[in-house]
Amino acid sequence: MAELHAPETRKEQILRAAARLFADRGYAATSVRDIASALDLQGGSLYSHMGGKEDLLWEIVDRAAGQFLGAAERAVAGPNTASDRLRRLVRAHVNLVASDLAAAACYLNEWKLLGTERRAALKAKRDQYEAHFRHVIEDGVASGEFSPTEPKFASLFLLGALNWAHQWFRTEGPLSPDEVADRMADMILRGVERSR
């Protein structure tokens, strides 16, 4: 039986259009008029659904931050090995990026253009997210599963590679998100796992 989906609300349409434009042109180069035009709306009509341009960016990146954090919390749950948890973290990250490339690009690149308070709030969530990777690497080093390495550096290196996926991943490409994630996880784990 086909799954029924509720029609997309106007607010969701606005957020999707804004994310696409912010990702393609950059937040600074996108006007509210550009977003309204992409939806065949008048600028005033857009304001009746959402606040200003920064409110749109905030909602896009805050939602994404919540999704990344939730996925990381699920990925690290359970008594599995550090390798298993790290592989699940990589898979969750790549799947989230692939599920909405535009929102991922905003979360990864445009968040620094938020106002001071919102930027600080988002940075705290990004730090929490990075901590999941760092803790798994710390666990792997402590258990002897991973070679001795500096967990903070290793987690930042890993996230740097994962965060770039929104630039080159294509949904119509030859590999699924899971296949991309598994290849990335294999390469990463070869770098941190202790030689047998």
Of the pLDDT bands very low, low, confident and very high (cuts 50, 70, 90), residue 87 is very high
For residue 195, pLDDT over 80 is answered with: no
Reading the block at residue 17, the tokens are 């259009």
Of the pLDDT bands very low, low, confident and very high (cuts 50, 70, 90), residue 170 is confident
Which residues, in sequence order, are CB contacts of 77 under 8 Å at separation 6+?
none
Pair 74, 91: CB distance under 8 Å:
no
151-163 vs 177-192: helix axis angle to the nearest 10?
150
b (16+ CB within 10 A) / e for 60-80? bbbbbbebbeebbeebbeeee
Of the pLDDT bands very low, low, confident and very high (cuts 50, 70, 90), residue 67 is very high
pLDDT computed for residue 187 by the predictor = 85
Domains (range + CATH), the chain: 53-192 (1.10.357.10)
Least confident segment among 1-15, 55-69, 73-87, 153-167:
1-15
Least confident segment among 45-49, 95-99, 154-158, 186-190:
45-49
Reading the block at residue 62, the tokens are 């805050």
For residue 168, pLDDT over 90 is answered with: no
Cα 53 to Cα 33: distance, rounded to the nearest angstrom: 10
Average pLDDT, the chain: 89
Least confident segment among 22-31, 87-96, 144-153:
144-153
Pair 64, 159: CB distance under 8 Å:
no
